[in-house]
Structure 1
Amino acid sequence: MKKLKVCFYLKGDKKNQDGETAIYGKIYLGNGYSTFSTAKYIQQERWAKTNSLRNPVRIDFEINLKNYLKNLTDGIEDKYNQLLKTYSGDEEITPLYLKNYCFNDNPEHKITLLEIVATHNEYFKKQVKKGDRADGSLEKYERMGDVISDYLKSKLKQKDIEFDKITRKFVYGLDDFLRFERKHGAKIGLANNTTVKYIRNISVMVNYNITMGLISGNPFSIYDGKLKEVDTTFLTLEELRSIENKVFTNRRLDVVKDIFLFSCYTSYAPIDVMNLRQGNYTLDEDCDNWLKTKRQKTKVKTNVLVIPPLKRIINKYKSDPECIEDDRLIPSISNSKMNAYLKEIADLCGIDKNLTWYVGRHTFATTVALANGIPMEIISQIMGHKRITQTQHYAKLMDSSVKKHMKDLENHFE
């Protein structure tokens, strides 16, 4: 028998006309949970001051509210015990089933697609809070709720859809909507790779709900959209030097320049750069400096020898107050701000490319590593790739490397 637990919390984005915040509950069974609204509200400061109404209270409103939540908990426990008495063992009692059994007139309520998105994202938020996943990934999954809502409203004229009513027509209709009708800024329609990634993300969400026992089967598994290989943007050696030699008196641009160069000489992704602390900067037995860490995304070790350009940047921020306070190697900045400021730097340096943080990572693979003869296997390890095929993509971009090897071949035949 799974252990039942009921707890209550404030849902910050739900407020009434009096400025009070909605009280929501969670039903936990084993490792799963389901949320529900209590239809009650309270001032946030009173909720905090009374320790979520667990402390003794004297105000009539709070006494009545505390009793209401207790009776709600007792009722859920009673319903759970009733279910256990008639439980045949054929189907698992999930938190969602128990919630529907307690609050709906029809205990056979069918889970909807937007409920699946919400369930996955609640779990993902916990992973982000623990540091196992990145904020950027959470934003990607949260965006899926808006994408699905837009599709449902514009094409099906409804707010949600029961999961078991999702058909092949629905899946490929979503693909068609994203490619030709979804608005993206001033543009209408998304590129192939963005469309494919969106639908793959939905499939990931569905699979999580399958794992939690809330549904069975994934209708999005029939989707066969393929990612197309795209040209990767990277800096030439001349462009890299132009940024390196550019002097900025503005601290904002100077810091962004250093963080970008840091990625160019380490291949670290944004989240990996921001996770670096003094403890990641070490000496080996030969007194050489190393950066030792694991990639947030793949958990693969990505140890990098600290070459002179890197050492200059690290030394520059040794006594920086912001870095000292957080034990960082270099200052912190959000991905969105970083990319906005990089566009400004590109203009000032006369670089006609869409400069983003990830261009630094690609520049490492091509201009810094491959062009200087570092073997593909070593580059793959430094970049945190699990498969060398991920790294081999960069080799196709390097005409200079091709020329170098062909010149060697030319000399051989001469």
Structure 2
Amino acid sequence: MKKLKVSFYLKGDKKNQSGETTIYGKIFIGNDNSTFSTSKTILQERWSKTNGLKNTLRVDNEINLKNYLKSLVDGIEEKYIELIKTYSGDDDVTPLFLKQYCFDKNPEHKITILEIVNKHNEYFKKQVKKGDRAEGSLEKYERMGDVLLDYLQTKHKIKDINFDKINRQFVYGLDEFLRFERKHGKKFGLANNTTVKYIKNISVMVNYNITMGLIGTNPFSIYDGKLKEVDTTFLTLEELKRIENKIFSNRRLDIVKDIFLFSCYTSYAPVDVMNLTQGNYTLDEDCDNWLKTKRQKTNVKTNVLVIPPLKRIIDKYKNDPECIEENRLVPNRSNSNMNAYLKEIADLCGIDKNLTWYVGRHTFATTVALANGIPMEIISQIMGHKRITQTQHYAKLMDGTVKKHMKNLGSNFE
């Protein structure tokens, strides 16, 4: 840490009506300095005679003045240490910056990275409250603030950083921290896709603040981390029927089974299932039942024709007190509870897969839709995808479907 020094002197010959001269201070950091006024005055002869108030004093007003100047020095030293901790070093703390930090009544405030996160999340909360965005997405962005704070404290020994100090080193340092040092349960280091998603989430937050005119550029736009394609877990038709035919006397597991199957036959994500009310269940002119809604994540229409196994679930809970009270098609369960109980269901049904609520959505795309010849464009619309490339991922998983179509093709050339 560079040495800080504060000294006082009388500036010029200008005197007030009492014949006194203003005392000025000078802040030295390294070879740089900056001057400030103390707004206090003293007779030039008394300043000289007391060696700038350094000698032993007997006059009360001079004793008080000396104590005041000492308190100024103490305050400046305290602020200097505070800034050093904030900026993880003293290269960015100049005498002028320190003076402004200590004395300016309205110093120019520089927005910090955590303020960027908070401003985005405050807006996102309003969207969630209005029903435009999902609570789970908000939790994802709020968790980002904790991740950043962990990085700042662990690697930089600071609690926040001015946004204009973020550079390439900071961005890729965060990537390295997440991949190798971020604690996850009992392990250290996150998977590639989790790391990339975290940094892309920060970039989304920064872009919101650019839109609001609070900042001008996005330093995270240089990040070139790529998501790796991972194998998607889905149920085969035999596994799906195994769960559907399993009878549970336990209401807890029975409800979880039905909600999971609901996703298998609609493609709805957890938040979309929980948002469904009786008003989403309609009849068309042909007296066919439909579920009509929009995906909360993308705001894309996801209308689904109600097929028999889905109708059986809806009819089962039509008069359920829990659903009637909350005007729901199926009972309300949290994502964490669903996933915990689905693991239990997988064990009881002899399914050796990591069964989560989202497996239901993947099962619809592969086993329910693709395997039964529904065109990719229709599946994409049902699933609420904005781009068909999002849906095409599932086609790679269906070797059985490929075999069936190729066999049909082969028969044409016999």
- So what's the TM-score if we normalise by structure 2? 0.74
Asked if 1:306 corresponds to 2:306, the answer is yes
Shift in Å, 1:188: 1.1
TM-score, normalization by structure 1:
0.74
- In structure 2, the residue matched to 1:21 is none
Shift of 1:409: 2.3
Q: C-alpha displacement at 1:121, in angstroms? A: 1.0
| Partner residue, 2:244 | 244
Do structure 1's residue 365 and structure 2's residue 368 form an aligned pair?
A: no
**How does 1:17-166 map onto structure 2 within 5 Å?**
105-166=105-166
Describe how 1:326-337 pairs up with structure 2 within 5 A: 326-337=326-337
Q: Which has the larger radius of gyration?
A: 2
**CA deviations over 1:29-59 (Å, ceiling 9, x no partner):** xxxxxxxxxxxxxxxxxxxxxxxxxxxxxxx
User: Structure 1: 5+ residue runs without aligned partners?
Assistant: 1-99
Offset, 1:341: 0.9
Matched, 1:351 2:351: yes
Pairwise CA distance, 1:410: 2.3
Which position in structure 2 is the counterpart of 1:192?
Answer: 192
Matches within 5 A, 1:161-240: 161-240=161-240
Structure 2 distance, partners of 1:124, 1:409, is 51
Check if 1:399 corresponds to 2:399: yes
Q: Please state how far the C-alpha of 1:401 moved relative to its aligned partner.
A: 0.5
- Whole-angstrom distance in 2 between the partners of 1:379 and 1:207: 31
* Distance in 2 between residues matched to 1:105 and 1:208, nearest whole Å: 30
> How far 1:107 sits from its partner (Å)?
2.1
Q: SS where residue 290 of structure 1 aligns?
A: strand
Query: The residue matched to 2:268 in structure 1 has which SS?
Result: coil
Q: Which residue of 2 aligns with 1:282?
A: 282
Q: 1:379, 1:119 → 2: CA distance? A: 37
Q: Deviations over 1:257-295 (max 9, x none)?
A: 000000000000011101111111111111111111111
SS at match of 1:127: helix
Deviations 1:176-234 (A, max 9, x none): 11011111111211111110100011111111111222221111111111111111100
Gaps of 5+ in 2: 1-99
Distance 1:160 1:261 in 2: 46
Aligned-residue Cα RMSD (Å) equals 1.5
SS of residue paired to 2:282: strand
Q: What's the CA shift string for 1:123-175, capped at 9, x where partnerless?
A: 11111111111110011001111111111111111111110000100000000
Q: Residue 238 of structure 1 aligns to which amino acid in structure 2?
A: E
Cα offset, 1:106, TM superposition: 4.6
2:356 is equivalent to residue 341 of structure 1: no
Sequence identity (%): 86
Query: Match of 2:274, as an amino acid?
Result: M
Q: 2: CA distance between counterparts of 1:140 and 1:300?
A: 21
3-state SS in 2 of match to 1:282: strand
Distance 2:115 2:227 in 1: 28
Q: Distance between the aligned counterparts of 1:134 and 1:301, measured in 2?
A: 16
- Aligned-partner SS, 1:206: helix
Which segment drifts farther, 204-213 or 161-170? 204-213
Query: For 1:282-340, what per-residue CA distance to the aligned partner results, in whole angstroms no more than 9, with x for missing partners?
Result: 11111111111111111111111111100100000011011111111111111111111
User: What is the Cα deviation at residue 363 of structure 1?
Assistant: 0.2
How far the C-alpha of 1:104 sits from its partner, in A, is 7.2
